[in-house]
Structure 1
Amino acid sequence: MTAFSLEPAQLAWCAELRTLAAERLRPLADKGEPGHVNRALVAELGSLGLLGRLFTSGALDLCLMRESLAYACTEAETALALQGLGAHPVHAHGTQEQRARWLPGVADGTAIAAFALSEPGAGSDAAALELRAEPESRAEPESPQGEGPPAAPALAAAPDGPARWRLTGEKCWISNAPEADFYTVFARTAPGAGARGVTAFLVPADRPGLTGRGLDMLSPHPIGALDFDAVPVTADDVLGAVDRGFRVAMGTLNLFRPSVGAFAVGMAQAALDATLAHTAGRDAFGGKLRDLQAVSHQVAEMALRTEAARLMVHAAASAHDADAPDVPGRSAMAKLLATETAQYVVDAAVQLHGARALQRGHLLEHLYREVRAPRIYEGASEVQRGIIAKELYARQEVR
């Protein structure tokens, strides 16, 4: 298999996923409440074995899943992706105990995961995050009324550094918040150290001091803010190594960025197919809409860009699976091209459908709301361009 074609078995699997999305997942999605976790939908993804595949498949398989589900049910695609995004750091960097505690529930759809990186002042600039992880004081408390020997400290530090911290600050625009069961949280453990002073923590939702609120967003999936008021975490909650959490975040994003592009391609393909059907059947000016050269050329352009984006997504995913050295740049290119393409294709589809596409409940009205956010989350388009340029200049310096 190359990056430019799929095997018959892969094509058949994609067709099966589109059918499952339309027949089994779409009805559950329709019953969900916008802005809230649809646990019935997540559980069905688990029963179909799709969530478990998040931990056994490569980047290309993840892209095929996301594109195929997005074509027929964007809510199912997003539910699957959010489980993967929130739980991948646990799968890749967690201890045996962390993985045993949380991953089975993620796989069967009973534990909801979330990836908590963005903050009000640190969205695209992830290295600038300010959520503080402050080490517990080792000071010994005085005994009551100053009588007797001092009481033993409730929390102590390990010989090689703090074993316990308190998280204080805010996270914002976190998908699945505040309804997730656990969060992969990135906090600053070394002030002033930039990307080198960030640590990833696995934080269960029931930790004292952790509260959240939903945000009323354009996208229909749940997004919220989290407040951390001296939330306790210990060395047992660290994912990876202390002060090395930025690597955890970037490794996760390098895997998921091409699949964000796959999500966008699935939406673009759905919009394109709807436009083909509409323009072939719609009577206008003594013929069909497709007979107008301006319309047929527009449809051709939509198809051209969609296929180009799909190929770039597959190439980036294949590079990731092959552990190629240029994965960050390829991932950024795939996400950038595919999300910008989907915005163009969906907008063009709305234009060719006319006012009917803006009616609440129409497929294109739904896609028009869904397609905007991927150009921002997991690194806005401008950030992707910066990553691409950085990789290009770094490569030039090596020559």
Structure 2
Amino acid sequence: MSNIPVDLTEQLRVNRAVVVMDIVESERAHVTELKTLIQSFLMPLKNSNIMTVDEYNQLVNNIEEVSKIHEELLESLEQVSELPQSDQRIGKLFLNKASFIRSVHLQYCSSHPRAVNIIEKYKDELNQIMETQGAVSPGILVLTVSLSKPFRRLDKYSGMLQELERHLEENHIDRGDTQRSVSIYKEIAAICLSTRKQKELELSILSGVVQGWEGADACSLGDVIKIGSVAFGPEHKDRYLMLFSTHLVILSVSQRLSSFIYEGKLPLSGISVKKLDNNGAIKNAFEICGSLIDHIVAICQSKEEQLDWIQKINKQLGNNRIISTTSNKSMEKGNRIPWDVTRLRSVPPLQFYHSINEKMICVAKKPERTFEDDGKVLKVFEAFCSNTKSRHASSGDHTMIL
């Protein structure tokens, strides 16, 4: 039995009832906002034909699936909240929904940066449609804020569950599940934020300026599998790695933090990677080796990042070996351009930008750089750096901005 005084136990129950009511009512308000967004604004926008079907899909992504998962969560919360307090297992409910909420929101957050580009491209038309449908002026701001609500809401769950835990008796049946749900939803929010920042960085690189880009343009490399910052060698030189299905691209950042600089492009067919043990000089590092290159030591910001890089690179190496065994080896040998270490050498900067069309990213020359362009790259770069530093913090709120 609990040793908590009767009056304190009663106060816990009163406070818990208030917390539960707040969780349910705020979830109900969130569901209403999502439904209003879809029915009152996005559906008329779809029928307006101001953008292509592909662009519309990039703008809304899986917003309807997000709305559905929150409707289901709300229905379950309403049912649980009607039970006697001793039988309410809200923590368990959130645990059971965690995997679905994670996957749906991860997909939404990964595509959100492209939605931002679509909004910027059609801002005048979107503003007019939003206001015509009843949105307060400026209508474009209503759309922008509304599309950011899914990940803003996601960021609140750990705090609400933590508040619920504070008002649970130590022997309450749901206390353990509530404690676990706090950490799980904090992790889900952090992963989704990290994914969104990664995609912002990826889009910034591919749609911005990469000085001295060499060889085939970015659209020929396929989708970016992973992108992230590492440090090279004992000097800890800041570098960015971009992993494609057949290449690993190495970039650095200009001194003004205004653009990215091409450092090299390693074909995966010519390299291997291995995990390095921690020592006094390096920690969380892996080594990139190849018969035609000097070995490269890449130092990651965490053990998780180290293992993720190794796993993803090795997976692509395995995929490439399977493809190579089923291809025409004689043709491959005749067409392959020999690769050597000189491909890692810097070249005089050439300025390019990548313009986004409906289905792919292509490269085109950009006639002139502006301080506004520099500011955009700097903003994304600073946001990414800020995120990577706080990614593994055990507590703290994330400010979600579009």
* TM-score normalised per structure 1: 0.28
Give the TM-score, by structure 2 length: 0.28
Pick the structure with greater CA Rg.
2
